[in-house]
Amino acid sequence: MQLSSFILNIGKTVLPLLLLCLGVSLATGCRAKSSTPKGLPLKERITRIQQQEWRRAELRPHTLREALNDPAPKVRARAALAMGRMGLMAPKALMGGLKDTSSEVRHHTAFALSLLANAHPGLRKTIAKGLRAALESEKHPPTHHQILLAIGHIGQPKDRELLEAAFVGPHRVQALEAWGLLARKASLQRDVGAALVPLLGSDRVAESRAAAWATAQRNAKGKHDPLWSKLLEVGADNEDDTTRLWATRALAKQGPQKIPLKWLLERLADPAASVREAAARAFAKRGVRSAVKLSVALRRLWREAGSNHHRLTGTSIFPVLTGIRALEHQVRIATIRQFAADLLYLSDASDAAVRYSPTEASSVDRVHCAAARLWDLGVKRIERTPTCGTARAADLSTSWRRKLVISTIVDMKERDAEWKLTLVRRYLRDPNPSVREAAVSSLAGLDHPSVEAALTHALDDKDMGVLGAALQVMAQRKQQAFAPVLAKKVVMRLEALKPLAAPMLVCDGVGALRRLGARFALPLLHRLQKSPAAALRPCAFHAAQHLHPKAKPTPHGVLSRGLPDLRWTGRDGVPLPRRAVLVTQRGEIQLELFPEQAPAAVARFARHARKQGFKGSLFVGRGPGRVVLGLKRTPRWQSAGLALPDEPFPTPSMSKTAGLLGMLRGHVEGRPARDSASRAFFITLEAEPKREPDVTIFGRVSTNLEILQRTHVGETIKDLYIP
Q: How confident is the model over 557-604, as pLDDT tens digits?
A: 666 777 888 888 878 888 999 999 999 878 899 999 999 999 999 998
Compute the average pLDDT of residues 106-117: 93
Tell me the pLDDT of the chain averaged across its residues: 82
Neighbours of 18 (CB within 10 A): 10
User: Do 629 and 671 have their domain in common?
Assistant: yes
Please give the pLDDT value at position 33.
Answer: 40
For 659-670, how does the pLDDT look when each residue is reduced to its tens digit (9 = 90+)? 888 888 877 766
pLDDT > 90? residue 206: no
Residue 547 lies in a domain: yes
Q: How far apart are CA 214 and CA 440, in angstroms?
A: 40
Compute the average pLDDT of residues 640-656: 75
User: Do 668 and 640 have their domain in common?
Assistant: yes
Compute the average pLDDT of residues 150-161: 88
Q: How far apart are CA 115 and CA 83, in angstroms?
A: 9
Confidence band of 434 (pLDDT split at 50, 70, 90): confident
Q: How far apart are CA 184 and CA 249, in angstroms?
A: 14
Residue 314 lies in a domain: no
User: Do 490 and 551 have their domain in common?
Assistant: yes
Q: Are 97 and 105 spatial neighbours (Cβ–Cβ below 8 Å)?
A: yes
Neighbouring-strand partners of residue 382? none
Q: Residue 588 belongs to what domain range?
A: 579-721
User: Do 599 and 704 have their domain in common?
Assistant: yes
Residue 223 lies in a domain: no
CA nearest neighbour of 653 among 289, 292, 141:
141
Provide the phi-psi class of 714: left if phi over 0, else alpha when psi is between -120 and 50, else beta: left
CA nearest neighbour of 602 among 578, 632, 584, 626:
578
- Could you give the 3-state DSSP secondary structure of residue 292? helix
Please give the pLDDT value at position 387.
Answer: 85
pLDDT > 80? residue 482: no
- Please report which residue ranges of 186-287 form alpha helices under DSSP H: 197-200, 205-216, 228-237, 241-254, 261-267, 273-283
Residue 333: exposure state from Cβ atoms within 10 A (0-12, 13-18, ≥19)? middle
User: Do 622 and 557 have their domain in common?
Assistant: no
Please give the pLDDT value at position 634.
Answer: 46
User: Do 607 and 696 have their domain in common?
Assistant: yes
Confidence band of 436 (pLDDT split at 50, 70, 90): very high
pLDDT > 80? residue 195: yes
Q: Are 182 and 194 spatial neighbours (Cβ–Cβ below 8 Å)?
A: no
User: Do 588 and 677 have their domain in common?
Assistant: yes
User: Do 502 and 616 have their domain in common?
Assistant: no
pLDDT > 70? residue 58: no
- Please report which residue ranges of 500-562 form alpha helices under DSSP H: 503-516, 522-528, 537-547
Last residue of some domain: 154, 185, 203? 154
Please give the pLDDT value at position 375.
Answer: 94
Helix (H) or strand (E) holding 667: strand 667-668
Residue 496 lies in a domain: yes
Please give the pLDDT value at position 30.
Answer: 44
Please give the pLDDT value at position 309.
Answer: 65
Please give the pLDDT value at position 635.
Answer: 42
For 437-467, how does the pLDDT look when each residue is reduced to its tens digit (9 = 90+)? 999 999 988 888 888 888 888 998 888 888 9
For 64-78, how does the pLDDT look when each residue is reduced to its tens digit (9 = 90+)? 888 888 899 999 999
Q: How far apart are CA 642 and CA 640, in angstroms?
A: 7
- Cα 196–Cα 201–Cα 205 angle in degrees, nearest 5: 100
Q: Are 277 and 284 spatial neighbours (Cβ–Cβ below 8 Å)?
A: no
Q: What's the one-letter identity of residue 546?
A: H
Higher pLDDT, 30 or 500: 500
User: Do 590 and 703 have their domain in common?
Assistant: yes
Compute the average pLDDT of residues 186-197: 80
Residue 363 lies in a domain: no
Percentage with pLDDT > 90 across the chain = 22
Compute the average pLDDT of residues 172-199: 85
Please give the pLDDT value at position 226.
Answer: 81
Please give the pLDDT value at position 393.
Answer: 55
Last residue of some domain: 528, 562, 596? 562
pLDDT > 80? residue 657: no
Please give the pLDDT value at position 624.
Answer: 56
User: Do 617 and 658 have their domain in common?
Assistant: yes
CA 132 to each of CA 135, 156, 386: distance values in angstroms, whole numbers, following the listed order: 5, 11, 60
Compute the average pLDDT of residues 699-717: 80
Compute the average pLDDT of residues 228-255: 89
Please give the pLDDT value at position 420.
Answer: 92
Please give the pLDDT value at position 713.
Answer: 67
Total domain count for the chain? Answer: 3
Mean pLDDT check: name the lowest of 18-27, 125-134, 207-216.
Answer: 18-27
pLDDT > 60? residue 633: no
Q: Are 525 and 517 spatial neighbours (Cβ–Cβ below 8 Å)?
A: no
Last residue of some domain: 123, 154, 185? 154
For 383-430, how does the pLDDT look when each residue is reduced to its tens digit (9 = 90+)? 999 888 765 555 567 788 899 999 999 999 888 889 999 999 999 999
Q: How far apart are CA 510 and CA 307, in angstroms?
A: 54
pLDDT > 70? residue 351: no
User: Do 588 and 663 have their domain in common?
Assistant: yes
Neighbouring residues of 557: CB distance < 8 A, sequence distance ≥ 6: 59, 530
Residue 615 lies in a domain: yes
Q: How far apart are CA 57 and CA 438, in angstroms?
A: 40
CA nearest neighbour of 682 among 595, 620, 597, 598:
620
User: Do 484 and 589 have their domain in common?
Assistant: no
Q: How far apart are CA 613 and CA 678, in angstroms?
A: 13
Domain CATH code at residue 86: 1.25.10.10
Helix (H) or strand (E) holding 259: none
Domain CATH code at residue 683: 2.40.100.10
Please give the pLDDT value at position 29.
Answer: 43
Q: Are 574 and 568 spatial neighbours (Cβ–Cβ below 8 Å)?
A: yes
Residue 200: exposure state from Cβ atoms within 10 A (0-12, 13-18, ≥19)? buried
Residue 300 lies in a domain: no
Confidence band of 319 (pLDDT split at 50, 70, 90): confident
Q: What's the one-letter identity of residue 354?
A: V
For 516-557, how does the pLDDT look when each residue is reduced to its tens digit (9 = 90+)? 888 889 999 998 988 888 888 888 998 999 888 877 777 766
Q: How far apart are CA 171 and CA 163, in angstroms?
A: 10
Residue 667 lies in a domain: yes
